[in-house]
Amino acid sequence: MLNNNHIEIIKSTIPLLESAGPALTQHFYQRMFSHNPELKDIFNMTHQKTGRQSVALFEAVAAYAKNIENLGALATAVERIAHKHTSFNIKAEHYQIVGHHLIETLRELAPEAFTKEVEEAWTEAYLFLAQIFIDREEELYQLREKATGGWRGTRRFVVSEKRPESELVMSFVLTPEDGGKVLDYQVGQYLGIQVTPSKADNVEIRQYSLSQAPNGSHYRISVKKEGKGTEQQGLVSHYLHDEVEVGHAVDVLPPAGDFFYQESGKPVVLISAGVGCTPMQAMLQKLAEENKTDPVTYLHACENELQHSFIDEVETIVAAKGWQQNVWYRSPVNLDGSNNSSVGLMDLAQIKDTLPIHFGEFYTCGPVAFMENVVKQLEALGVGRDRIHYEVFGPHANL
């Protein structure tokens, strides 16, 4: 259990942590993967190459140290991370391995500052936090296992349909091989998909938002071919697009995620860019199914008409319900004015008089730079942060 002495020691090591920066977590990952290569089958190895995962973990460790006296401030982050962990099927025993390499990393990088007392304080602090995650994750695993259509770990699904939604995005309908029901989910949540691409050295797990409302029998995900035509082709997305056909099977982890639509009886604005529109499809469908009577606005930005996914699906719902849709094409192929489209980046000031600025709920998903810009625009218009909800398709970033 953490005592005051431990807390004081943890606080005293914050400057040391900050001076080490993400080099600390980079060292940690290198150490862990060299000693425990089996974990390469769980972690996203591309994120190791890009360094994004090290930055995300460093920020999490630093946030923990800084909030060690006020852990309530971390509740949202803990919930988000616990959900993400379950989509990787992280187990209690993994925490022992991670904890060991974290402590040894601190010892190796700061041998003089890493006294017996510091070791004890960080060990206790780590165990304390690990237990919070282990307990919450176990709770989530059990909830999903016990619910109708639920399961724990991986379950085999067959691709029953593969359909292009735009130039870069392909939908995959996944039906359980065992013919059973599938677990319902909250619209906005994602699945973990576990595959072994032919070009991969390891088993790879990726998250994909569910792109339709729940139906009890199958799931739909919609995947962008990342880095198409470049030297840095996304491993799993290319594999899914190029090699996974109807009839092929993939291993699926149950729906997870703390970003989901919550009914508040208020108008809703769904704001996406690129493939960030996937959770918005699930939300839009669900709102339509539930005959939401408050205004719903669907805002989307993408490169051009060819990269605009779900055009017909959205148009059908929006037209049937009399809801609002606005689209921005950064560089249109040819603009015919359909879908209320404009040229350029999303500019909310253009349509501010049509938005529920003072009481609506705003959900956004897309590249981090896009969402940062959207949040800035919304704040400038007077939307409070508590009404802006967002999902990052990768290692977390605070907007």
Q: Beta strands 204-209 and 296-302: pairing type?
A: unpaired
Say whether residue 149 binds ligand FAD (CB under 6 A).
Answer: no
Q: Which residues, 6 or more positions from 146, have their beta carbon under 8 angstroms from its beta carbon?
A: none
Point out the catalytic residue in the list 64, 124, 126, 137. Answer: 137
**370 scored as a contact of ligand FAD (CB under 6 A):** no
- List, in sequence order, every residue forming a beta bridge with 79; answer none if it has no partner: none
Residue of 82, 268, 269, 275 interacting with ligand FAD (CB under 6 A): 275
Judged by CB under 6 A, does residue 82 bind ligand FAD? no
Residue nearest ligand FAD, CB atom distance: 234
CA-nearest of 175, 301, 164 to 241 is 164
Give the one residue of 85, 101, 144, 206 binding ligand FAD; rule: CB under 6 A. 206
Binds ligand FAD by CB under 6 A, chosen from 28, 157, 190, 363: 190
Give me 327's structure tokens: 């689209």
Q: Does the protein bind ligand FAD through residue 49 (CB under 6 A)?
A: yes
Question: What are 305's two structure tokens?
Answer: 């008409």
26 annotated ligand-binding residue:
no
Specify whether 137 is catalytic: yes
The reply, when asked if residue 209 is annotated as ligand binding, is: yes
Selected binder of ligand FAD within 99, 149, 367, 394 (CB under 6 A): 394
310 binds ligand FAD (CB under 6 A): no
Q: What is the CA radius of gyration of the chain?
A: 22
Question: How many CB atoms neighbour CB 349 within 10 A?
Answer: 10
- Interface segment toward ligand FAD; rule CB under 6 A; list 108-116, 218-226, 287-295, 334-342: 218-226
Between strands 361-365 and 341-343, the pairing is: unpaired
Please tell me the total number of residues recorded for the chain in this structure.
399
Q: Is 237 in the site for ligand FAD (CB under 6 A)?
A: yes
Q: Is 386 helix (H, G, I), strand (E, B) or coil?
A: helix
Instruction: At 294, give phi and psi (nearest 5°).
Output: -75, 155
User: Is residue 398 within the footprint of ligand FAD (CB under 6 A)?
Assistant: no
Residue 367 touches ligand FAD, criterion: CB under 6 A = no
Is 393 annotated as ligand-binding? yes
Q: Minimum Å distance from CB 379 to ligand FAD?
A: 24
Q: Is 15 exposed, middle or buried (0-12, 13-18, 19+ CB in 10 A)?
A: exposed
* 177 part of the active site: no
Q: Which tokens is 209 given?
A: 């938002």
| d(C-alpha 360, C-alpha 267), whole Å | 5
> Of the residues 29, 64, 95, 390, which is catalytic?
95
For residue 179, give every residue at least 6 positions away whose Cβ sits within 8 Å of its Cβ, in sequence order, or none.
none
What are the binding residues for FAD? 190, 206-209, 392-395
Annotated binding-site members for heme b:
85
| Active-site residue list | 95, 137
Binding residues (CB under 6 A) for ligand FAD: these are 44, 46, 49-50, 190, 206-209, 222-224, 226-227, 232, 234-237, 257, 275, 278, 391, 393-394
